[in-house]
Chain A
């Protein structure tokens, strides 16, 4: 065997080893989600079988049609969209300019408020906010959840945008200044268009973490104002526990987020890495 062949084989073997380790590492996640799909597609008989059955003997689409047909599903789905959508939109409107201002003022220290927001357990906000919403008579509406979701979305947006604006060169803004732009023209016509990738990252992260939020809804949501995570949790308590429909509902709730994760993996990784490292 020549040295070159041997070296090639060694490299192949080490690549194979790496791949094997990676597969091992990924297997819990992969198994979990496959099992989740399997549960959601099986009849109760299959789900109750021991030893467990992986491939459904009969595909139970009715688990899914049951979720969509349940009278309140679309209401809860709509609630989730309204809460996440509004909280994210508001966060972008106040957070993007704030990230810009903080980055340009080199006032990263002011971000300590955001640190505190990150360190505070969500429940701590809930006690005072719950009382205030009660006084204001807002508890039957979606407004309380939208407002309190800002606790999640605004810091994410500001955080990501500070990092982003710190990397956009000041020279461009100076050039625009000399070209005759005033400060709003500079922001809207130069800075904002350049920051679009950063805005997309913060939008995605804000949507995901707002969509996933459970704790705020548990306390603030009434019967008609539940978001999907709260609604699916309530299925557990109020209906007799049948695994197929429950798994189907769980999958439906998390499906949009998983799709977003797969589609926008690169942006999410970039945003979380930057945000997290700064977040320390």
Chain B
């Protein structure tokens, strides 16, 4: 055997081993992921690309595509109805994050305690979140009725004046936030409850031995440890509140006037009532960017607070 052939043989062995080693140690999981990748591309990625393309056009249903560059975006900057809708959306979102966060966290602390019929009570508390939004919106509309609604009757029982609820511009946002809070506090509760369940017991026992009272235990132990969960709940709540649609549409359609027209509802009107595809797409893009930016801000807060508290999540 010549030296060259021996060398070649060694090289081919080496190659075989390298290719073989990949097969043995790690099997490929791509075939499992591929179908989902196709579906997600078709229903998520592709529509996004299409939306971007449409947003630089002046396009109405039934008319030809016409490229206009950033004209739609520039038009948005001067669209009073759009700008007002942004302000309204932010107000709606802040209120719809804060109230469910407070109530949901309190509920989680409560449902974390031992009590009779805990499962049943928690089940009832969770029901608003699971119920069909349109169905509950219809019933809320009846309850909000200024003359015959049960809410004004309940107010009268505790000696308060009747309200116009969703039927007056001043109170419509607050009323909708009330429904949103009623509906989504349970999600905050579930997330925080998950956090509370994951807490170790030892520090509490040691704190008790150290003489910490209930409030101190909450402030120095529980709060820092569940902070990551609170921020997760807050992020999710914020995203959901920003894109809230069903409840507002079914109860007020953005009214009275445009008093409850959030960006999402304005987007609906532009794209599907006025059939302005290009302009609607531009709103969709900007609206999505707003959601992304605000989420990133919260994510940053999360990392920052994690670093400060030394917790990683």
A–B interface present (Cβ within 8 A): yes
Q: Judge whether A277 is part of the interface by a CB distance below 8 angstroms.
A: yes
Task: Name the one of B30, B148, B182 contacting A101, with C-beta atoms under 8 angstroms.
Answer: B30
Known: A19-B115, A215-B245. Contact between A154 and B29, CB under 8 A? no
A232 touches B36 (CB 8 A): no
Please, which residues of chain B bring their CB within 8 A of the CB of A130? 272
- What's the Cα separation between A35 and B288 when bound, in Å? 38
B110 touches A21 (CB 8 A): yes
B245 touches A121 (CB 8 A): yes
B123 touches A51 (CB 8 A): no
Q: Judge whether A229 is part of the interface by a CB distance below 8 angstroms.
A: yes
- What's the Cα separation between A215 and B272 when bound, in Å? 12
A26 touches B125 (CB 8 A): yes
Task: Name the one of A90, A127, A272 contacting B277, with C-beta atoms under 8 angstroms.
Answer: A127
- What's the Cα separation between A28 and B56 when bound, in Å? 47
Q: Judge whether A25 is part of the interface by a CB distance below 8 angstroms.
A: yes
Known: A52-B150, A101-B33, A276-B190. Contact between A232 and B287, CB under 8 A? no
Q: Judge whether A178 is part of the interface by a CB distance below 8 angstroms.
A: no
B40 touches A117 (CB 8 A): yes
Q: Judge whether A273 is part of the interface by a CB distance below 8 angstroms.
A: yes
A124 touches B284 (CB 8 A): yes
Q: Judge whether A93 is part of the interface by a CB distance below 8 angstroms.
A: yes
- What's the Cα separation between A280 and B298 when bound, in Å? 10
B24 to chain A, nearest CB (A): 10
Q: Judge whether B71 is part of the interface by a CB distance below 8 angstroms.
A: no
Please, which residues of chain A bring their CB within 8 A of the CB of B268? 123
A214 touches B133 (CB 8 A): yes
Scoring B residues 40 to 53 as 1 if CB is less than 8 Å from chain A, else 0, what string do you get?
A: 10011111101100
Q: Judge whether A142 is part of the interface by a CB distance below 8 angstroms.
A: no
A29 touches B288 (CB 8 A): no
- What's the Cα separation between A233 and B134 when bound, in Å? 7
A258 touches B127 (CB 8 A): yes
A97 touches B35 (CB 8 A): yes
Known: A35-B150, A121-B264, A215-B246. Contact between A127 and B281, CB under 8 A? yes
A211 touches B125 (CB 8 A): no
Known: A29-B182, A124-B284, A250-B138. Contact between A280 and B236, CB under 8 A? yes
Please, which residues of chain B bring their CB within 8 A of the CB of A175? none
B110 touches A208 (CB 8 A): no
Please, which residues of chain B bring their CB within 8 A of the CB of A211? 132
Scoring A residues 101 to 136 as 1 if CB is less than 8 Å from chain B, else 0, what string do you get?
A: 110110000100110111111111111111110000
Q: Judge whether A72 is part of the interface by a CB distance below 8 angstroms.
A: no
Q: Judge whether A262 is part of the interface by a CB distance below 8 angstroms.
A: yes
Q: Which of B72-80, B165-173, B200-208, B227-235 contacts A (4 or more CB under 8 A)?
A: B227-235
A93 touches B35 (CB 8 A): yes
Q: Judge whether A83 is part of the interface by a CB distance below 8 angstroms.
A: no
Interface of A is mostly: helix
A23 touches B121 (CB 8 A): yes
Please, which residues of chain A bring their CB within 8 A of the CB of B143? 32, 35
Q: Judge whether A100 is part of the interface by a CB distance below 8 angstroms.
A: yes
Task: Name the one of B115, B142, B264 contacting A18, with C-beta atoms under 8 angstroms.
Answer: B115
Q: Which of A2-10, A61-69, A144-152, A194-202 contacts B (4 or more CB under 8 A)?
A: A144-152
When C-beta atoms are compared, the residue in chain B nearest to A246 turns out to be B138
Q: Judge whether A98 is part of the interface by a CB distance below 8 angstroms.
A: yes
Please, which residues of chain B bring their CB within 8 A of the CB of A15? 114-116
A254 touches B115 (CB 8 A): no
Scoring B residues 107 to 129 as 1 if CB is less than 8 Å from chain A, else 0, what string do you get?
A: 10011011110110111111110
A119 touches B291 (CB 8 A): yes
A235 to chain B, nearest CB (A): 8
Known: A22-B115, A94-B36, A280-B236. Contact between A247 and B132, CB under 8 A? no
B110 touches A273 (CB 8 A): no
Known: A25-B106, A254-B135. Contact between A269 and B124, CB under 8 A? no
B133 touches A212 (CB 8 A): yes
Q: Judge whether A36 is part of the interface by a CB distance below 8 angstroms.
A: yes
Known: A18-B113, A25-B110. Contact between A154 and B40, CB under 8 A? yes
Please, which residues of chain A bring their CB within 8 A of the CB of B126? 261, 265, 268-269
7 smallest CB-CB distances across A and B, nearest first, come from A98-B36, A280-B232, A101-B32, A273-B194, A250-B135, A101-B33, A128-B50
Interface of B toward A, CB cutoff 8 Å: 27, 29-33, 35-40, 43-48, 50-51, 54, 103, 106-107, 110-111, 113-116, 118-119, 121-128, 130-136, 138-139, 141-143, 147-148, 150, 153, 156, 182, 187, 190-191, 193-195, 229, 231-233, 235-236, 239, 242-243, 245-246, 249-250, 264, 267-268, 271-272, 277, 280-281, 284, 287-288, 291-292, 295, 302
